């Protein structure tokens, strides 16, 4: 659709009138200097020998998780060279001819959600989103279905597998810090979301083509992530917006960073002490935007999510009823 040369987008992509007033030019939005800004957390000190440095870093991370629920992570320990390989592999896949990509097509109707697709299912408002995606489980390794991983480019499997392994380690570090921030023992949150064996990492590469009428469409509509944590890379084209203090705030592009969201799962376990922020994706006329989102999730149906007893008191009763992760 995007490459056909159309100048008017089909009606099913046009957002409802009440949303249109808040959709601006993402490049202009990103340039704005005034207003709130998504925090940047430097993780260099998180395992420092210096206890003051270590505590300062952990305090900043906890504060960002409680106040925003989203942050740019820098000095996160994952090599830039590996991240570039992951991005290159994803970009190469989406550059393939459509018939090549279709070989990996998913089939929502039969429950085969892994693979290549567009958002064919109607969303909350019945409108479609301006994106294609590739979705598959990347960790633990014994739960992967490698038959649906792209064969082209040849580096896709190796780069993506290594990135998932390293990201899994980063998730442990973050969950430890968030546990301590709640006054819990270090490994508690990780244990609550499935531990080393059951905690799942699902990769969704989002491809947002150029859009002839970006002021009328969204790449992804407003939502919160149901995951415990979400880690996002992107190709340095702005698009992510966060709903903060009643306004949409555009995330700046921070070089060599990974964006991290607190998901609904951690918000529930922490009884709302950490926030899962509403966010959406804008599109534009000039540049293709690609993002690599890894959703770190507890196993479906196996774990009952509810506020941990230590986060509940008479003054702060449970804010969420028990539920399974779906």
pLDDT at 154 over 70: yes
Q: What is the mean pLDDT of residues 220-237?
A: 96
Q: Report yes or no on 6 lying in a domain.
A: no
Strand arrangement of the beta sheet that strand 247-250 belongs to: 220-223, 279-281, 240-244, 247-250
Give the rounded percent of residues in the chain with a pLDDT score beyond 90: 85
In order, the DSSP letters of 127-147 are: PPPS-EEEEEEEESGGG--GG
Judge whether 281 lies within some domain. Answer: yes
Residue 292 lies in a domain: yes
Within a domain: 316? yes
Give tens-digit pLDDT for 305-320: 999 999 999 999 999 9
Task: From 115, 113, 90, 117, select the one nearest 104 (Cα to Cα).
Answer: 115
**Helices H, strands E: what count in the chain?**
9, 14
Closest by CA to 285, choosing from 235, 217, 231, is 217
Phi, psi of 165 (to 5 degrees): -60, -45
Q: Give the pLDDT confidence score for residue 120 in this predicted structure.
A: 44
pLDDT computed for residue 53 by the predictor: 95
Q: Quick check: is 5 in a domain?
A: no
Neighbours of 294 (CB within 10 A): 27
Contact 217, 210 (CB under 8 A): no
> How does DSSP assign 19-55, residue by residue?
HHTT---HHHHHH--SS----EEEGGGTT-SSHHHHH
Looking up residue 278, the CATH number of its domain turns out to be: 2.60.120.330
Q: Residue 39's closest CA among 257, 234, 276?
A: 257
Domain membership of residue 2 (yes or no) is: no
- Give the β-pairing of 323-324 and 304-305: antiparallel
Alpha carbon distances (Å) from 143 to 2, 146, 156, 168, 296: 35, 9, 18, 14, 14
d(CA 74, CA 170): 12
Q: What is the mean pLDDT of the chain?
A: 94
Catalytic residues: 204, 223, 225, 279
* pLDDT (mean) for 78-106: 96
Identify the band that residue 119 occupies on the pLDDT scale cut at 50, 70 and 90. low
pLDDT value, residue 127: 82
Nearest to 208 by CA among 94, 104, 116: 94
Q: What is the model's pLDDT at position 141?
A: 96
For 307, the domain range is 11-324
Average pLDDT value for residue range 111-127: 73
What is the total count of domains within the chain? Answer: 1
CB atoms within 10 A of CB 43: 20
Asked if residue 301 belongs to a domain, the reply is yes
The pLDDT of 140-145, averaged and rounded, is 96
In a domain, 4, yes or no: no
CA distance 198 to 272: 24
Spell out the residues 6+ positions from residue 49 whose beta carbon is closer than 8 angstroms to its own: none
């Amino acid at each position: 659709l995007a490459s056909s040369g159309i100048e008017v987008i089909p009606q099913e992509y046009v957002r409802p009138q009440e949303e249109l007033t808040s959709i601006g030019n993402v490049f202009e939005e990103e340039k704005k200097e005034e207003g709130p800004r998504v925090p940047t957390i430097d993780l260099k000190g998180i395992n420092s020998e210096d206890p003051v440095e270590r505590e300062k870093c952990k305090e900043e991370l906890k504060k960002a998780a409680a106040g925003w629920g989203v942050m740019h992570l820098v000095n996160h320990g994952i090599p830039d060279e590996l991240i570039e390989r992951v991005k290159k592999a994803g970009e190469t896949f989406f550059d393939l001819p459509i018939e090549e990509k279709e070989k990996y097509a998913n089939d929502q109707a039969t429950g085969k959600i892994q693979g290549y697709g567009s958002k064919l299912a109607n969303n909350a408002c019945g409108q479609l989103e301006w994106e294609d995606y590739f979705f598959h489980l990347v960790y633990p390794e014994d739960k992967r279905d490698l038959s649906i991983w792209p064969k082209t480019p040849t580096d896709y499997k190796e780069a993506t597998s290594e990135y998932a392994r390293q990201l899994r380690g980063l998730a442990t570090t973050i969950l430890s810090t968030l546990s301590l921030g709640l006054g819990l023992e270090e490994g508690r949150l990780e244990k609550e979301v499935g531990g080393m064996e059951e905690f799942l990492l699902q990769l969704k590469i989002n491809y947002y083509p150029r859009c002839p009428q970006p002021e009328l469409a969204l790449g992804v509509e407003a939502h919160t992530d149901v995951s415990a944590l979400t880690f996002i890379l992107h190709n340095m084209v702005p698009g992510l917006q966060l709903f903060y203090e009643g306004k949409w705030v555009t995330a700046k592009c921070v070089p060599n960073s990974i964006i991290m969201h607190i998901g609904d799962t951690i918000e529930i376990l922490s009884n709302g002490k950490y926030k899962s922020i509403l966010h959406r994706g804008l599109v534009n006329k000039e540049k293709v935007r690609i993002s690599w989102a890894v959703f770190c999730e507890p196993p479906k149906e196996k774990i009952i999510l509810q506020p941990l007893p230590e986060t509940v008191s008479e003054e702060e009763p449970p804010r969420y009823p028990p539920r399974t992760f779906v």
